[in-house]
Amino acid sequence: MKSVQIVIKKLSFINLLFVITFVLIFSSCKNNNYSTNPTPTSGSPVQNEVWMQNSKFNPASLTIAKGTKITWTNKDSYDHTVTSGTPGHPTGLFDSGNVASGGTFNYTFDSTGTFQYYCRIHADIMQGTIVVN
């Protein structure tokens, strides 16, 4: 009888470890810099938003006021990047890294000028411009 109680206690301890491990794994999946919530693919981008869709930036050119935050949203089923500069000549001003499907990247433009950007993965076809007044 005593050995049965020991086995039950060990199984309870193993179950508790499993639950703790499960909670830790799934709570660590949260990434505070990007949203990975799926977003609808129909319609149009809202103000101060650029969609990465069909391997293009939509809109490809956007004019904004200084201090405006732009949100790029990946509407494709594969990764994209938002990298300042032109293909082969990144400026280092911003770089999203890989943005997964449904993910977003934000950048606030605090100075005036014309800022070109591109997708490092699809540089030959994905390029855009932000004009800041």
pLDDT at 44: 82
pLDDT at 5: 59
Domain identity same for 15 and 80: no
Domain identity same for 63 and 128: yes
Residue numbers in the chain where pLDDT is lower than 70: 1-42
In a domain, 72, yes or no: yes
In a domain, 26, yes or no: yes
pLDDT at 1: 62
Domain identity same for 92 and 65: yes
Which amino acid, one-letter code, is at 1?
A: M
Alpha helices in the chain (DSSP H): 2-27
In a domain, 65, yes or no: yes
Contacts of 18 (CB under 8 A, 6+ apart): none
**pLDDT tens column, 3-35:** 655 544 654 555 444 444 443 444 444 333 334
Task: Give me 78's structure tokens.
Answer: 């594969």
Tell me the pTM: 0.68
> In this structure, what CATH number is given to the domain that contains residue 81?
2.60.40.420
**Total domains, the chain:** 2
CA angle centred on 102, ends 104 and 49, rounded to 5° = 45
pLDDT at 106: 98
Domain identity same for 63 and 125: yes
Domain identity same for 57 and 101: yes
pLDDT at 9: 63
Domain enclosing residue 58, as ranges: 49-132
